[in-house]
Structure 1
Amino acid sequence: MKYFTLILLLFAILIGCENKDKNSLPIPITNDAQDTVIIAEESKEKIPDSTAIVETKITQGLILTSNALQVINKNTGSTSEIPFGKPLDQMIEIVNNVLQSKPKSIEVNSECGAGPLNMVTWNNGITVVFIKKESESKTAETEWYFAGWFLGGNSANIPKIATMAGISIGSTRAEMESAYVITVSKTSLGHEFSTSSGLFGIFDGPGKQAKITNLWSGVSCNFR
């Protein structure tokens, strides 16, 4: 009987030790778990900064020309002409897209010699001039059509608009004469010049280093 009791006691002790060893074993970490942690850390490092500024490059430009304007593709150098006669809404949309800005003013001048002119001006100094088309219907809305452009001074921080030859506000008489055949005369506006193709402007003096202060083509509102 004592021998049998001793066997039961030893068996109970062995079972208790085995359970204790099992409970004390550390929880294994599989390779999959480690890989998941590493991938998560790498993904965190690769998340792009949502506040990063993306620069938009302007790929088009506006070129001055006689009796029209031109749009130039700065990447290819190809040009397309915007002839006189474009409706006001279409013209504003085209220039807005090219310059990536909206007009700073739109106003009608009723005191011009050519009659009332609608003048749309942008910050870079370009003013697009529109002439009114008379409608037979008194109830119809007034229609305006592209009939000229005028270039004055602009902010020093805004790129200048120029002709294909690089002539713009600030160009000298010598530079103008090297690019075009011009006629110069003294008028009430100043030292006024013109080309046979229809480009007009004013120098701030008579000498070769006199600078262009204004350029225009087509219908204008100059008082002589």
Structure 2
Amino acid sequence: MKFPPFLLLISVLLLNCENKDNQAPKRPVAKKTDTLHNIEESNQKKTDSVNTIQTQQPHQLILTSNALQAINKTTGSTSEIPFGKPFDEMNKIVTTILQSKPMVVGINAECGAGPLKMASWNNGLTLVFQKKEVQSVETESRWEFAGWYVSLNSGNTTKITTMAGIGIGSTRGEMESAYVIIVKKSSLGYEFSTTSGLFGIFDGMGKQAKITNIWSGVSCNFR
């Protein structure tokens, strides 16, 4: 069968285009598994800062308003340990950093904020946990990190402080050089507070008065 000349011309042009397309380098097609891997890798980077606290040493625990921080002594990097973490996770993290288990774990049912679960270490640190409802298939409750409290330690242990070096035994003068504070007399003693959420007690009014207690978040103080 004979084809008209214009049809033969179109056929040749289409064939040449097809050959060129076949010779052109192919773009790699992203696999779904690669995309998922990238997402998982990205998510992993976000959680590494907390997870590595549980596995790598050495770290130092630092006091901060409404949270704690862990400093990697080797790299100097910091990781925040925010309020809201469940008891088991917090217990594991802090036990790993301090290289010791809490001396006492118990529940105080007489606090103004309601029953509070507390875990205390021999360096004077007490973590405070408050029961919260968790929305799941069945509504349940769990103890979540809600505050910390530091008092005189019971032995010759490393003092835990803020990033500015303020802790038990620091003077009012040292505190005022690092923070803007308000001091008032109460039934607990000479209480101080900062706008960021640090609270504590001095053993006197003068510049040389020392901090005997310091806390942040939910507390169980009886005034």
Secondary structure in 2 matching 1:163: coil
1:141 CA displacement: 6.5
Which residue does the alignment assign to 1:39?
none
Which residue does the alignment assign to 1:203?
202
1:133 CA displacement: 1.4
- 8 Å Cα contact 2:133/2:140 also seen in 1: no
Which residue does the alignment assign to 1:145?
144
Secondary structure in 2 matching 1:92: helix
Cα 1:156/1:107, change in 2 over 3 Å: closer
- 8 Å Cα contact 2:57/2:72 also seen in 1: no
Which residue does the alignment assign to 1:176?
175
Give the partner amino acid of 1:171.
S
1:58 CA displacement: 5.6
Secondary structure in 1 matching 2:97: helix
Unpaired stretches in structure 1, ≥5 consecutive residues: 1-56
Which residue does the alignment assign to 2:160?
161
Tell me, in whole angstroms, the C-alpha distance in 2 between the residues paired with 1:134 and 1:86: 13
Tell me, in whole angstroms, the C-alpha distance in 2 between the residues paired with 1:141 and 1:123: 32
Give the partner amino acid of 1:67.
N
User: Which aligned pairs between 1:8-87 and structure 2 lie closer than 5 A?
Assistant: 59-87=58-86
Deviates more, 1:160-169 or 1:150-159: 150-159
Question: 1:24-67 deviations in whole A, cap 9, x for unaligned?
Answer: xxxxxxxxxxxxxxxxxxxxxxxxxxxxxxxxx96111000000
Give the partner amino acid of 2:97.
V
Which residue does the alignment assign to 2:28?
none
- Count of matched residue pairs: 167
Give the partner amino acid of 2:69.
Q
Tell me, in whole angstroms, the C-alpha distance in 1 between the residues paired with 2:132 and 2:182: 32
Task: Give the share of equivalent positions with the same residue, in percent.
Answer: 70
Unpaired stretches in structure 2, ≥5 consecutive residues: 1-55
Give the partner amino acid of 2:128.
V
Deviating above 6 A after TM superposition, structure 1's stretches of 4 or more consecutive aligned residues are: none
1:174 CA displacement: 0.2
Return the index of the structure with the highest Cα Rg.
Answer: 1
Cα 1:66/1:135, change in 2 over 3 Å: closer
Tell me, in whole angstroms, the C-alpha distance in 2 between the residues paired with 1:74 and 1:195: 28
Tell me, in whole angstroms, the C-alpha distance in 1 between the residues paired with 2:159 and 2:57: 14
1:175 CA displacement: 0.2
Secondary structure in 2 matching 1:178: helix
1:142 CA displacement: 4.5
Which residue does the alignment assign to 2:217?
218
- 8 Å Cα contact 2:133/2:139 also seen in 1: no
Aligned-pair Cα RMSD in Å: 1.9
1:123 CA displacement: 0.7
Tell me, in whole angstroms, the C-alpha distance in 1 between the residues paired with 2:159 and 2:175: 16
Tell me, in whole angstroms, the C-alpha distance in 2 between the residues paired with 1:165 and 1:60: 17
